[in-house]
Chains A and B, each alone.
Chain A
Amino acid sequence: QSVLTQPPSASGTPGQRVTISCSGSSSNIGSNYVYWYQQLPGTAPKLLIYRNNQRPSGVPDRFSGSKSGTSASLAISGLRSEDEADYYCAAWDDSLSGQEFGGGTKLTVL
């Protein structure tokens, strides 16, 4: 079981705004950066958000990240069919001395 908790699934319709949560503790999210990755079926993960809310070049501004206390969120606005994928949060955990990934959230675009 991961120390970062994500809902196993989320869904939305095209154009809608959806958020995916990532809940942790003081030893991970509460004291370190949060990162978000998107994994399309059968492909390698792709970096979406780094250092809580920074977008790499090429990532649309429809994707945004935020952090508050020991929780973080990924928001996707203007949902598109191509956003259907698995989404993972990640953060360093001081107690485990390792980078931890959330269990992943499967996003379905209805």
Chain B
Amino acid sequence: QVQLVQSGVEVKKPGASVKVSCKASGYTFTSYGITWVRQAPGQGLEWMGWISAYNGNTNYAQKLQGRVTMTTDTSTSTAYMELRSLRSDDTAVYYCARDLGGTYDYYMDVWGKGTTVTVSS
């Protein structure tokens, strides 16, 4: 079955970086994009950006430009999201999701279970 398996819990200090992985299975990885969404404790959803697994094109949220990098490894059907210069307000659950759409038309039908990232000194 189609699934996305994310890496485990991360605890980081302010200023550090975190890299979350998302391994896809059950479908042709390069036929879809991957969107990353995060959710701070008790808060709503925040779109972080999208990457095409076909050609690596990316589209990042303006708020995170310069701090986030999304990549894919097609040999292992894995997507990665790296966030640098972590702050306490980056504490959140980070989700990857398979994106069925494309530019300006992002919608996600399969989601990972989420990776909790805690930023604390």
Interface size on B, as a range, is 20 to 34
Measured CA separation A26–B106 after assembly (Å): 18
Q: Give B105 Cβ to nearest chain A Cβ, in Å.
A: 6
The one of B37, B104, B113 in contact with A92, judged by C-beta atoms closer than 8 angstroms, is B104
Is the CB–CB distance between B113 and A98 below 8 Å?
A: no
The one of A45, A88, A99 in contact with B106, judged by C-beta atoms closer than 8 angstroms, is A99
- CB within 8 Å of B: which of A35-67? 35, 37, 39, 44-47, 50-51, 56
Binds A, one of B11-19, B43-51, B71-79, B80-88: B43-51
Q: Which 8 A-B pairs have the closest CB atoms?
A: A44-B111, A99-B47, A50-B107, A101-B45, A104-B44, A92-B104, A98-B61, A35-B107
Residues of A within 8 A of B (CB): 2, 32-33, 35, 37, 39, 44-47, 50-51, 56, 88, 90, 92, 96-104
